[in-house]
Amino acid sequence: DVSCNKIQSVDRRTFESLPFLQFINLSCNLIAELRFGTFQAWHGMQFLHTLNLSHNPLTPVEDSYFFKLRALKYLDMGKTHVMFKTVESIVMMSPKLEKLILPSRMACCLCQFKNNINIFCNTVKLHCDSECLTNTTYCGELPLPDDKFYYCFNCQFFN
C-alpha cells in the first residue's frame, strides 16, 4: 500500500522484482499518467488481481502492459480523468475483470445509455443513482462511446 504518498510517477519495471504481487494501492497520489513500461515485468504480473488508481489526476494510459494484466479482477479508476478508449481497452483485454470502478462522470454518462448496453448482454450492471439518470450534463464534455464500446462492454463490467 503506497496510497497517499504524493507519488507523481511510477518508473518503468517498478514491479519487476515482485513476481507474486497481488495487490497494488496507488490511490490518493499525484499520478497524472501511466507511461510505457510501468507494468512491464518478465513475469507478466500474473498474480495481480487488485489495482487501485483512484483519486489520481490520471488521464493518459500509455502503458500497453497495463492492458495485459490478465489476472486483474478489481480495478478502481474512480476520481481519475481516464477516457472511454482506456476503459474499452481494459474491458476487452481483462478477461477476469469482475469489478471496475469508473470516474463518476463517466459512470453517469454510461447510465444514460444503460438500455443500449443491456441489449448486448444482461450481465452488465451499472449502479445508477437518480441524479445520473436525470442529469445529462455529465456527458457534455465526454466523447461519447461508439457501438464497438458497447459491444465490448457486454462481458463482466460492474460499477
Residues in the chain: 159
Q: What is the pLDDT of residue 32?
A: 96
Are 120 and 143 in contact, with CB atoms under 8 Å apart? no
* Cα-based angle 140, 145, 146 (whole degrees, multiple of 5): 135
**pTM for the full predicted model:** 0.82
Which tens digits make up the pLDDT trace of 26-84? 999 999 999 999 999 999 999 999 999 999 999 989 999 999 999 999 999 999 999 88
Are 40 and 66 in contact, with CB atoms under 8 Å apart? no
Phi then psi dihedrals of residue 78, to 5 deg: -65, 150
pLDDT at 114 over 80: no
Which tens digits make up the pLDDT trace of 133-149? 666 655 655 555 555 55
Q: Say which amino acid occupies 83.
A: M
